[in-house]
Amino acid sequence: QQPVQSPQAVILREGEDAVINCSSSKALYSVHWYRQKHGEAPVFLMILLKGGEQKGHEKISASFNEKKQQSSLYLTASQLSYSGTYFCGTVLIKAAGNKLTFGGGTRVLVKP
Amino acid sequence: NAGVTQTPKFQVLKTGQSMTLQCAQDMNHNSMYWYRQDPGMGLRLIYYSASEGTTDKGEVPNGYNVSRLNKREFSLRLESAAPSQTSVYFCASSGPELNTGELFFGEGSRLTVL
């Protein structure tokens, strides 16, 4: 079951902040965040694990609320290089094997 | 270190033709995946293989078959291509455990079915 992302798109000025949300209707074991530039493959940003462990990117942070089955990605003091489409991917607690399912994506455009 | 390599990068097919997309990884990863991405859309999981010798259906498996040939290689076959299968196909791998490591993607294979 695909996670739901919001908003679908956001436009920022350089230096502004934004939050991207990802929610699931089922209990999550982990949440992954990826960024994709136009015409390129997605690139890993971070993983958030059940229990609070987090691995990821220096300048982009995220949170994982296990009870609400939600994750949020925080783009702080955005840079032009932050532009792209952000995808959250989820692994369900009762998922078979290593099934990672992605949301529909959030398009981010950072303007000078 | 090549990472994840997909071939071909571009392919045009006629409706009803068959083809196989090849994927190989050199990172000794256990898990491999095939996703499709339609224009302006997210990534949808077609099939995945948690380990050598196993394959499982993802969200959109109809019209596709896969083979985990060995630990390195995971191929995707379209037996009778349809215009609805026009898409960009990404192969990815992870290991040893998905939840402790990132997914590495290939560059993508752009398929057009006329």
pLDDT in tens, B39-96: 888 999 999 998 888 999 999 999 999 999 899 999 999 999 999 999 999 999 987 6
**pLDDT for the residue numbered B50:** 86
User: Using the beta-carbon criterion (under 8 Å), do A99 and B45 form an inter-chain contact?
Assistant: yes
Q: Among all residues of chain A, which has the CA nearest to that of B36? A: A102
Spatial separation of the C-alpha atoms in residues B81 and B85, rounded to whole Å: 7
Whether the Cβ atoms of residue B36 and residue B44 lie closer than 8 Å to each other: yes
At B100, the pLDDT band (50, 70, 90 cuts) reads: low
Total Cβ atoms within 10 A of residue A14:
12
Q: Among all residues of chain B, which has the CA nearest to that of A28? A: B99
Whether the Cβ atoms of residue B39 and residue B47 lie closer than 8 Å to each other: no
Report residue A70 as tokens.
């939600």
Give chain B's contact residues with A (Cβ, < 8 Å): 31, 33, 35, 41-45, 48, 50-51, 54, 56, 58-59, 90, 94, 97-108
Question: In chain B, which ranges are E strands?
Answer: 4-7, 10-13, 19-25, 31-37, 43-49, 56-57, 64-68, 74-78, 87-94, 104-105, 109-113
User: Using the beta-carbon criterion (under 8 Å), do B98 and A49 form an inter-chain contact?
Assistant: no
Q: Among all residues of chain B, which has the CA nearest to that of A45? A: B102
Spatial separation of the C-alpha atoms in residues B5 and A69, rounded to whole Å: 34
Which residue ranges in chain A fall short of pLDDT 70?
Answer: 51-58, 94-97
User: Using the beta-carbon criterion (under 8 Å), do B42 and A102 form an inter-chain contact?
Assistant: yes
The neighbouring-strand residues paired with A78 are none
CA B52 to chain centre: 15
Q: Is A33 on the interface with B (CB under 8 A)?
A: no
Assign B84 to helix, strand or coil.
Answer: helix
Report residue B63 as tokens.
């019209």
